[in-house]
Amino acid sequence: MTSKTESETKVITNNQTLNRYSSAIKSGLQHGEDYVELFSTLVDTKHSQSLLEAAIGLTDFKLDSKFLTFPHQYSDEDVQLVFMQRLLDLNQVPQNFAINSVKRVEKLQAQFRLLNDDNFAFFKSGKSNSGFFFAPTRNQKPLFYLDLQRKELLFNSTALVSYFVVTLEGTEVANIKNAVSVLIDFAKILKESFGFRVDFNILDSINGEFYTFAAGAISEEVLDELFVDAAQSNYMLMAGDNGEAILNLDNDIKLVVKNDGSDSHPKWGALVHDEPQKESWLGLILDYPFISDWYLKNNKELAIISDPYIFG
Amino acid sequence: MVEENNNDQFEQNDSQLASALTGKVDYLTDLQNSIKDGNDLHVYQLINHNKYNQQLDVEPDLNDNATYDFSLAQNLTPELSHHLSYKLIDYLGETYPFFYYHEYELGQFDVYFGNWWDHRLFGKLDVINVAFEFDEEEYDKLAQSFNLEAEGKRVNEAAMQRLAAENDHLTNLVVEQPDRNKQRAKLQGQMQEIEGRSAMPWESAKQKEEKQVLEEQLVEIDNLDNQANDANKKIKSNENEILKLSKEETILGFERQSLKQIFGTFAEFNDSTRTLYKNYLLSFLGNNAEEKQVSDND
């Protein structure tokens, strides 16, 4: 009797186990189907809103379950890149940025059409499961931080200068600007269509944007240097009425370097003023070699601050 | 009548006093009206009648018995200067567009050369006498810069070259540090070799001599090492000095450029400032003549 009971128990238990297995597979498959649906939307949808929802849904999705794993998967990083490229396409931004062709499931990388062969990709930020860095794969210094879930995009001045100004030195400026404009367009779409919080940082071309220097105070020599360097390039750094320095550049573009704080709590920085509001700090650095030399030489003082928590 | 006057000297005195006071009152009234009417030309005439006549080649009017005694209004100089500055600075803005003025106290004006970064305080403007009072040192620097320019040179050229050469030298000292380290090791090896040698008594003088040569070379290396150690600091301070000098050159360059744009040469500029009083007052006459002509035409 005793043994029979044991055997019955065993049968029941086995049965349960098998049932649990099958329902686990079933839910795993359902989970997989949900994934496929999201993935198809990411790849095929014609609507920006559903594209964003799909990308958010796929990020941190965890496709594998205990009984069902999928050997070939695109990573969350890949999802961000597909989202970026598709959002640009949907908004008819000229095709200057494209994901490299792939033959199998592998890490996705993209290139700017007019730049050299540098590859770009998203990388886990470590700041949150939904936050990613966009960077050249050669050094992974993040050009911007993207968090679709929290609707945030923050540009990183240090890496932008390091890549577009230093690494790409000698590249046709128009081509560099073309690549930069892709990033700006991407951020603008996110801001305008979905209300993202975007810190354009040195890419901001709004006239009132104050680019704060990291040092707070800057020494007199730094401005003297700009004065001398500008004169050698036939531009005149002028003295404003309130102690600010004003540099009149081509096409009525005006660079103002000033203290936005007080004498005891200085907050030096720069403003770029132009009627069409198209010129940014990075634009000036790219267009005027003497400004770029000056900025890089005095970078300790002049570095424009980026979000210290994200990029610190 | 004659008798009366002779007899009453006090009465004559009173009438002289009355007439003198009338003269002064007239002068001040004249001044007051000219200020009210904005007739700066006449104000200048009242301020310094002789200079006015002399500079404008006006024949003194023998029938003019008016009193011209600026001492009556002398203590109002700041107020007058402020009043006259409006038109004068407008005029100077046209004729010397590169000068900028700052009224640091009522009627007292600093003159700045240019509106570029760190423009120089170049002197003062004497509104009452319509004259620039240039700061001698600053003026001389500009004059020298014009002279040197004619020879294709710059004021700070020698100093800048010296500092640049010193920085090259210091940079080399730093770069050559590894070579000196090798050289030192070699010399020290030789020294040990000499010391280890058991010399015959007649050889000890020679040995000493050899050691001394090596020691001198080692001291020389120490010297260079010390210089190299201080080099980075010195290079930085030289760079700052070079920056200061090139800033001054840049400013002088802008000053020369501005002057040449308006006056062609430094000499022309100097002539112009010397005859500023005359030119300024003539500009009123020119305007009056034009205005008169316009009203005649009407």
Domains in chain A (CATH in brackets) are 2-70 (no CATH), 81-201 (no CATH), 204-311 (3.30.310)
pLDDT digits (tens, 9 = 90+) for B254-279: 999 999 999 999 999 999 999 999 99
Q: What confidence score (pLDDT) does residue A88 get? A: 94
Number of other residues whose CB lies within 10 A of the CB of residue A292? 18
Cβ-based interface (< 8 Å): residues of A facing B: 221, 223-228, 231, 236-239, 245
By C-alpha distance, the chain B residue nearest A238 is: B116
- Give contacts of A227 with chain B, Cβ < 8 Å: 116-118, 247, 250
B244 vs A224: CB contact, 8 Å cut-off?
Answer: yes
Q: What confidence score (pLDDT) does residue B59 get? A: 83
Nearest of B109, B240, B75 to residue B167 by alpha carbon: B240
Number of other residues whose CB lies within 10 A of the CB of residue B38? 12
Nearest of A257, A289, A292, A262 to residue A273 by alpha carbon: A257
* A44: Cβ contacts below 8 Å, ≥ 6 apart: none
Nearest of B146, B143, B45, B132 to residue B95 by alpha carbon: B132
Inform me whether the pLDDT recorded for B289 exceeds 50: no
- CA separation for the pair A59, A77 (Å, rounded): 8
Nearest CA of chain B to the CA of A240: how many Å?
Answer: 8
- Give contacts of B250 with chain A, Cβ < 8 Å: 227-228, 231
What are φ and ψ of residue B132, in 5° steps?
-85, 140
Residue of A224, A236, A238 lying closest to B247 (CB–CB): A224
Helix, strand or coil for residue A73?
coil
Q: What confidence score (pLDDT) does residue B9 get? A: 67
Question: Is this complex scored with an ipTM above 0.85?
Answer: no
- Residues (pLDDT < 50) of chain A are 1-3
Q: What is the mean pLDDT of chain B?
A: 87
Higher pLDDT pick, B125 / B295: B125
* Size of chain A, expressed as the number of residues it contains: 312
Q: Which of B54-58, B84-88, B274-278 has the lowest mean pLDDT?
A: B54-58
- Give contacts of A233 with chain B, Cβ < 8 Å: none
Residue of B117, B119, B244 lying closest to A223 (CB–CB): B117
B253 vs A231: CB contact, 8 Å cut-off?
Answer: yes
Inform me whether the pLDDT recorded for B33 exceeds 60: yes
- Give contacts of B115 with chain A, Cβ < 8 Å: 238-239
pTM for the full predicted model: 0.80
Write out the two tokens for A174.
Answer: 């128009």
Nearest of A149, A137, A131 to residue A108 by alpha carbon: A137
Inform me whether the pLDDT recorded for B77 exceeds 60: yes
- Give contacts of B98 with chain A, Cβ < 8 Å: none
Write out the two tokens for B83.
Answer: 């009043």
Residue of A225, A226, A239 lying closest to B115 (CB–CB): A239
pLDDT digits (tens, 9 = 90+) for B159-218: 999 999 999 999 998 889 999 999 999 988 888 888 877 667 777 777 888 888 888 999
Q: What confidence score (pLDDT) does residue A5 get? A: 57
